[in-house]
Amino acid sequence: MKPRNLAQTAISLAIAAPTLATAQFYGDPPDATHPWAVHDMNRPQPPVVTPAAKPGDPPSDAVVLFDGTEESFKNNWKHVRDKRKGDWIFKDGAMQCAPGAGYIRTKEEFGDCQLHIEWAAPTKVQGNSQGRGNSGVFFLDGATEIQVLDNYDNPSYADGMAGSVYGVMPPAANPLRAPGEWQTYDIIFRRPIIKNGEIIDPGSQTVLINGVVVQDSTPIEGGGGHKKRSNPKKPFPETGPLSLQDHGNPVRFRNIWYRPLRKRATDGGTDGQLTPEATTVKRAEIAAEIRKDAATKTGINQMMRLLESLCYETNDSTVKDANAMLAKFVKSVEATPADKIESRKGETKNVFGALSYLATHKRIPADHPAIKALRQIINTNGWQDKKK
């Protein structure tokens, strides 16, 4: 896109000139609920994650809960009840529920996550409705269940079918493969946040079965349950184990991993739109970081970084320092001999662009003396941007 005004021209030049690459006066600045500017280069880069070679396998930052080996089960899982009949069975890279062996749960406790899990109902079809290939994926120590059920050519009550938030919301589709074939679940789980009986965030579950969306940010509504309407104001723990159900059917599981999700603004996260109070705190933090970085620089680079910090937070001592540097800068450009003045064009226009941006967004007064002085230098030398 072509630059549309002086401030945008300034950033184009700043990008071209490596010495000024860190300072930016570009998109709409921080406001009452957005701590960063639009297109803000100070905003942290997302961490690099290496995806798996094969879709569905764990990416580099995943926590693997079951890799197909009995050892991985022993390290990461335990039985929920001590008194039980037998153990789950490990065979061909999968673990299989042995009816009567009871629920199993992860040793690790976690909250909001992206979960991948694969399951297969028995090839030999037995039973119907809820009695066929029934298991379940439970978050937060049983607080909510995403149903596992062999619904291939097997109707049941809709809010209890495979991919349902059990007792709350049916899946939007039934994309199951035949019994015996592997099914994938990809689940994005966000716990409800309830404080003092008030629902701050209802939480949500998004579920894909075999790549097909069947739950799309479905509110958790208390987690669901068997026969009973659940209580949406029931407090939820922040973290808890993941558990898998023994519903009396030999359902197999494999390739189980999760990734924690970034925190929501309602949960102390600072990546998105924030409350005015949290925004003020975050803007002060960003400004402090930029001023710390400015202290490692010299000359015009230091000045530009200090000016940039004013986009986030105004501070008397920074304004004073920046003004002193600006006065020195203006003086040095004014003192440049005519045969050398062209060499000052780029930086002069950069500083003028930055000041124009700051004035437009009311970070400095529109009649700031440096704006007036630099405008005069630009006009005298015919450096104005051509009208588009």
Going by C-alpha positions, the residue among 147, 363, 106, 383 that lies closest to residue 257 is 106
Q: Which residue is nearest to Mg ion (CB)?
A: 136
Quick one: 134 or 348, whose CB is closer to Mg ion?
Answer: 134
Q: What number of chain residues touch Mg ion (CB under 5 A)?
A: 4
d(CA 6, CA 359): 12
Q: Which residue lies nearer to Mg ion by CB, 117 or 358?
A: 117
Query: Given the DSSP bridges, would you call strands 198-201 and 193-195 parallel, antiparallel or unpaired?
Result: antiparallel
Q: Write down the least CB distance from residue 135 to Mg ion, Å.
A: 6
Nearest distance, CB of residue 138 and Mg ion, angstroms: 9
Q: Which is nearer to Mg ion, 117 or 310 (CB)?
A: 117
Closest CB 242 distance from Mg ion, rounded Å: 14
Stretch that binds Mg ion, among 14-22, 48-56, 130-138, 212-220 (CB under 5 A): 130-138
Minimum CB distance to Mg ion, residue 110 (Å): 21
Judged by beta carbon, residue 246 or residue 347, the one nearer Mg ion is 246
Question: Whole-number minimum distance, CB 256 to Mg ion, in Å?
Answer: 16
Q: Residues 135, 245: contact at Cβ < 8 Å?
A: yes
Residue with tokens 């359902």: 251
Which residues inside 234-293 make contact with Mg ion, applying CB under 5 A?
245, 247
* Closest CB 115 distance from Mg ion, rounded Å: 16
Site string for Mg ion, 199-238 (x = CB under 5 A): ----------------------------------------
CB 183, CB 176: distance < 8 Å = yes
Cβ closest to Mg ion, residue 8 vs residue 174: 174
Long-range contacts at 17-23 (CB < 8 A, ≥ 24 apart): 17/346, 17/347, 17/350, 19/300, 19/301, 20/300, 20/301, 20/304, 20/347, 20/350, 22/293, 22/301, 22/304, 22/305, 23/301, 23/304, 23/305, 23/307, 23/308, 23/350, 23/354
According to the binding rule CB under 5 A, does residue 136 interact with Mg ion? yes
Pick the stretch among 127-135, 172-180, 215-223, 344-352 that binds Mg ion (CB under 5 A).
127-135
Closer to Mg ion by CB, 96 or 134: give it. 134
DSSP assignment of 81-119 equals -SS-SS--EEETTEEE--TTS--EEESS-B-SEEEEEEE
User: What's the one-letter identity of residue 88?
Assistant: W
Stretch touching Mg ion by CB under 5 A, among 71-79, 134-142, 195-203, 293-301? 134-142
CB of 130 to Mg ion, least distance (A): 8
Helix 345-360 / helix 316-334 crossing angle, nearest 10 deg: 150
Beta-bridge mates of residue 188: 114, 206
Angle of the 299-309 helix axis to the 276-294 helix axis, nearest 10: 170
d(CA 100, CA 157): 25
Query: At its nearest, how many Å lie between Mg ion and the CB of residue 136?
Result: 3
Q: Which of residues 8-47 bind Mg ion (CB under 5 A)?
A: none
Regarding 133 and contact with Mg ion (CB under 5 A), the answer is no
The residue (of 135 and 356) whose beta carbon lies closer to Mg ion is 135
Q: How many CB atoms lie within 10 A of CB 60?
A: 11
CB nearer to Mg ion: give 243 or 350. 243
Residues near Mg ion (CB under 5 A) are 134, 136, 245, 247
